[in-house]
């Protein structure tokens, strides 16, 4: 029955664009995220960051968007003020991303000043839209006769995608349709131009696909989903588009045939986010198999321990398998954010915690390093070793990363919980409350924890009335020896399904679940083919990857060698770097060395930084034997 419905919808998607009268496609996801509007965080780690994002990062980004002409480009395109276009041709997208971030922030907390700013900017955007729905300030002001002529380079569809994402977030957060109506008009314009029997084009930089799927989810209008399906179907297909853009833009072969991740990392992540989303409606076996293989290629061969991806500066691109240099790592902040998007979609599609493990790794490491504790300085490139010359900047000419991180941080509430007919899944451990719809009733969850510094988590379950359902708790891949108790009684035999400890019972108001995820300091080793990490280990505790900085260690750290059997100790320092747990160990000369969370590096005196340190006794060139099957990183076993 279900397969039949998928098949029918597959045909409808592949066929001509219809009136939208057909029934909606089934939602094929094993889990669906509990929306950001239903989750409030009040923890000691994220809540202050979300506040800093609202109070500092968003005003800072609006200011830079003003000062660099990004916002006035809209006023100019609208004819409200005179003047020429300023900046790069895709600068509209930064304004949209900042608005998206502002929308999540407003959902968390109303803020009249921020709302006023948002309304003002939206008014300029709306004024810049042309009567047919077209909206792009670069083309309106610079090349009005060249609209929709340079799909490989000029990012018109990319900018449209970011507008749509911002509009959906703004509508969901505030209930206002001011930006949403602009997005609908633009999406309808795209639908009139592109599709079967119309123009066969794709964007050189993916983004529109995932955005159209979001718009479909927000409106139920099938044509947006069909247009996204069309863009995905003709990508890399020479029979539909004789001149492909090549591997850089994942446009070298049809997506269903792709098995390796290639090209520009952000482009790839945005594309595969949309592919995973699309599979959740079509059950498309070709897409699912492509995602399986490409995911393995990324996480087993091409991902840094920080969940940074895209090792090459050249082309901002993925390198060869195991090509993971530390000091020259590119690891664009946007790419880690894109990986988080993709991981989140695959977690929902398959209901498998392994994807949320990567999501968590990205959030606490490769993404968070992209923004300074003050909320006003940003990394674009996130290397895993530094000679002391790489520092966060207030903004960039190409400002994709600041605007991406300021939309990602306030969206984190939307990543914490997921649900299905069977019950509720907890993907991230963050103190706060959530209201989750289950059948006809609502279940309130109250989570308390000091995560990521401590693995003890307490969840109070408050259904409106007693009811049977699952509570599925993600057991992180880094964790060994988890224990779980229900109302104070240990659960002896945990039922672990796809990485979740599943507790099924008739829940009563006030039931308490206590999860204990032990967080010893772990040494991690990399696959022997990662040449940069030969003879080295990295330190991880819980979800946090650590690094050594010169400032904590009385001098250069690049030649640091850990003792053969370091006796690790940890100390939580509330006044250091916004509150961090530091890790201490001994070097091979028995001197104490100190590591801090990678995300917090480069906040004090400039100096060397290193994630992968030499380990006394670890051979430089061990064999890559079968024990490495399917692994890029694993816990280091002492060669005793
Ligand atoms: O092209 C738009 C954005 O600028 C990309 O996603 C980033 O990699 C940067 O090149
Ligand atoms: Zn970026």
Q: Pocket around ligand 1: residues whose beta carbon is below 6 Å from it?
A: 90, 205, 266, 316, 332, 334, 398, 400
Alpha helices in 109-177 (DSSP H): 112-128, 137-141, 156-174
Return all residues near 44 (Cβ < 8 A) that are at least 6 apart.
Answer: 431, 450, 579
Q: Looking at the annotation, which residues are catalytic?
A: 316, 400
- pLDDT over 80 at 19, yes or no: no
Q: Which ligand is nearest to the CA of 317?
A: 1
For ligand 1, atom 3: residue with the closest CA: 400
251 DSSP assignment: B
d(Cα 611, Cα 138) in Å, to the nearest integer? 41
- pLDDT over 60 at 9, yes or no: no
Give 548-575 pLDDT, tens digit per residue. 999 999 999 999 999 999 999 999 999 9
Nearest atom of ligand 1 to the alpha carbon of 266: 6
Bridge partners of 149, per DSSP, are none
The pLDDT of 49-73, averaged and rounded, is 98
- pLDDT over 60 at 7, yes or no: no
- Tell me the pLDDT band of 8, cut-offs 50, 70 and 90: very low
Q: Which ligand is nearest to the CA of 381?
A: 2
Spacing, Cα 405 to ligand 2 middle (Å): 9
Give this prediction's pTM.
Answer: 0.96
Spacing, Cα 403 to ligand 2 middle (Å): 8
The pLDDT of 589-603, averaged and rounded, is 98
Give 196-228 pLDDT, tens digit per residue. 999 999 999 999 999 999 999 999 999 999 999
- Mean of all residue pLDDT scores within the chain: 95
pLDDT of residue 21: 54
Give 397-420 pLDDT, tens digit per residue. 999 999 999 999 999 999 999 999
Identify whether the C-beta of residue 335 lies closer than 8 Å to the C-beta of residue 310: yes
pLDDT of residue 235: 98
Give 314-335 pLDDT, tens digit per residue. 999 999 999 999 999 999 999 9
568: helix, strand or coil? coil
- Tell me the pLDDT band of 145, cut-offs 50, 70 and 90: very high
Share of the chain above pLDDT 90, in %: 94
- The pair of structure tokens assigned to 168 is 């959906």
Terminal alpha carbon distance of the chain: 57
Spacing, Cα 552 to ligand 1 middle (Å): 34
Of 334, 379, 381, the one to substitute when testing ligand 1's pocket (max ligand atoms within 8 A of C-beta) is: 334
- pLDDT over 80 at 55, yes or no: yes
Spacing, Cα 383 to ligand 2 middle (Å): 14
Are β-strands 456-463 and 536-541 bridged in parallel, bridged antiparallel, or unpaired?
unpaired
For ligand 1, atom 1: residue with the closest CA: 205
- pLDDT over 80 at 1, yes or no: no
Spacing, Cα 545 to ligand 1 middle (Å): 26
- Biggest CA–CA distance in the chain, Å, is 74
- The pair of structure tokens assigned to 598 is 């990678």
- pLDDT over 50 at 276, yes or no: yes
Nearest atom of ligand 1 to the alpha carbon of 332: 8
Bridge partners of 587, per DSSP, are 562
Q: Which ligand is nearest to the CA of 407?
A: 2
pLDDT of residue 187: 99
Spacing, Cα 339 to ligand 2 middle (Å): 12
Nearest atom of ligand 1 to the alpha carbon of 158: 2
d(Cα 46, Cα 33) in Å, to the nearest integer? 19
Of 97, 332, 379, the one to substitute when testing ligand 1's pocket (max ligand atoms within 8 A of C-beta) is: 332
- pLDDT over 60 at 17, yes or no: no
Of 93, 159, 398, 407, the one to substitute when testing ligand 1's pocket (max ligand atoms within 8 A of C-beta) is: 398
Identify whether the C-beta of residue 532 lies closer than 8 Å to the C-beta of residue 304: no
- Tell me the pLDDT band of 12, cut-offs 50, 70 and 90: very low
In angstroms, what CA-CA distances link 594 with 187, 520, 560?
53, 16, 11
Are β-strands 423-426 and 432-438 bridged in parallel, bridged antiparallel, or unpaired?
unpaired
Nearest atom of ligand 1 to the alpha carbon of 270: 6
pLDDT of residue 447: 98
Share of the chain above pLDDT 70, in %: 96
Give 522-549 pLDDT, tens digit per residue. 999 999 999 999 999 999 999 999 999 9
For ligand 1, atom 8: residue with the closest CA: 266
Q: Which ligand is nearest to the CA of 204?
A: 1
d(Cα 446, Cα 626) in Å, to the nearest integer? 44
- Tell me the pLDDT band of 637, cut-offs 50, 70 and 90: confident
Give 414-426 pLDDT, tens digit per residue. 999 999 999 999 9
pLDDT of residue 621: 86
């Amino acid at each position: 029955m279900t397969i039949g419905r998928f098949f029918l919808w597959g045909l409808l998607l592949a066929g001509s664009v219809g009136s939208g009268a057909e029934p909606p496609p089934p939602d094929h996801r094993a889990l669906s995220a509990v929306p950001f509007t239903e989750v409030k965080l009040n923890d000691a780690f994220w809540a202050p960051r979300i506040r800093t994002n609202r109070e500092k990062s968003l005003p800072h980004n609006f200011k830079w968007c003003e000062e660099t002409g990004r916002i006035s480009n809209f006023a100019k395109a609208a004819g409200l003020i005179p003047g020429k276009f300023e900046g790069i041709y895709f600068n509209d997208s930064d304004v949209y991303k900042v608005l998206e971030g502002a929308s999540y922030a407003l959902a968390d907390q109303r803020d009249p000043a921020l709302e006023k700013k948002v309304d003002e900017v939206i008014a300029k955007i709306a004024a810049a839209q042309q009567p047919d729905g077209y909206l792009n300030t670069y083309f309106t002001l610079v090349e009005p006769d060249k609209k929709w002529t340079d799909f490989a380079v000029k990012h018109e569809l990319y900018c449209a995608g970011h507008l749509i994402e911002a509009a959906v977030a703004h509508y969901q957060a505030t209930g206002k349709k001011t930006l949403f109506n602009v997005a609908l008009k633009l999406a309808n314009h795209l639908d009139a131009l592109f599709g079967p029997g119309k123009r066969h084009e794709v964007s050189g930089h993916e983004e529109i696909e995932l955005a159209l799927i979001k718009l479909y989810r927000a409106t139920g209008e099938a044509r947006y989903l069909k247009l996204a399906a069309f863009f995905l179907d003709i990508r890399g297909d020479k029979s539909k588009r004789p001149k492909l853009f090549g591997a850089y833009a994942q446009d070298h072969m049809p997506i269903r045939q792709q098995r390796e991740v290639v090209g520009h990392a952000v482009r790839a992540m945005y594309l595969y986010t949309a592919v995973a989303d699309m599979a959740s409606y079509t059950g498309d076996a070709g897409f699912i198999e492509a995602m399986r293989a490409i995911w393995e290629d990324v996480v087993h061969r091409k991902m840094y321990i920080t969940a940074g991806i895209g090792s090459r500066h050249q082309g901002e691109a993925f390198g060869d398998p195991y090509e993971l240099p530390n000091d020259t790592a590119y690891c664009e902040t946007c790419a880690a954010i894109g990986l988080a998007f993709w991981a989140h979609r695959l977690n929902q599609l398959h209901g498998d915690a392994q994807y949320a493990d990567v999501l968590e790794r990205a959030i606490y490491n490769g993404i968070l390093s992209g923004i300074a504790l003050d909320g006003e300085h940003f990394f674009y490139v996130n290397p895993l070793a530094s000679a002391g010359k790489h520092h966060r900047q207030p903004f960039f000419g190409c400002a994709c990363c600041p605007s991406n991180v300021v939309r990602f941080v306030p969206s984190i509430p939307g990543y914490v919980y997921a649900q299905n007919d069977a019950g509720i899944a907890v993907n991230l451990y963050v103190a706060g409350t959530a209201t989750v719809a289950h059948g006809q009733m609502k279940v309130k969850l109250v989570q308390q924890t000091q995560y990521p510094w401590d693995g003890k988590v307490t969840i109070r379950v408050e259904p409106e009335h007693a009811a049977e359902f699952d509570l599925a708790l993600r057991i992180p891949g880094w964790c060994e020896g988890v224990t779980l108790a229900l109302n104070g009684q240990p659960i002896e035999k945990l039922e672990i399904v796809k990485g979740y400890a599943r507790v099924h019972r008739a829940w009563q108001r006030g039931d308490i679940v206590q999860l204990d995820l032990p967080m010893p300091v772990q040494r991690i080793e990399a696959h022997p083919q990662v040449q940069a990490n030969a003879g080295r280990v990295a330190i991880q505790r819980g979800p946090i990857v650590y690094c050594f900085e010169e400032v904590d260690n009385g001098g250069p750290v690049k030649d640091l060698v850990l003792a053969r059997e370091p006796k690790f100790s940890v100390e939580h320092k509330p006044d250091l770097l916004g509150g961090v747990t530091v890790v201490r160990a001994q070097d091979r000369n028995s001197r104490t060395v100190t590591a801090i969370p990678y995300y917090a590096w480069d906040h004090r005196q400039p100096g060397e930084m290193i994630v992968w340190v030499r380990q006394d006794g670890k051979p430089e060139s061990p064999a890559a034997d079968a024990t490495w099957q399917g692994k890029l990183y694993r816990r280091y076993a002492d060669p005793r």
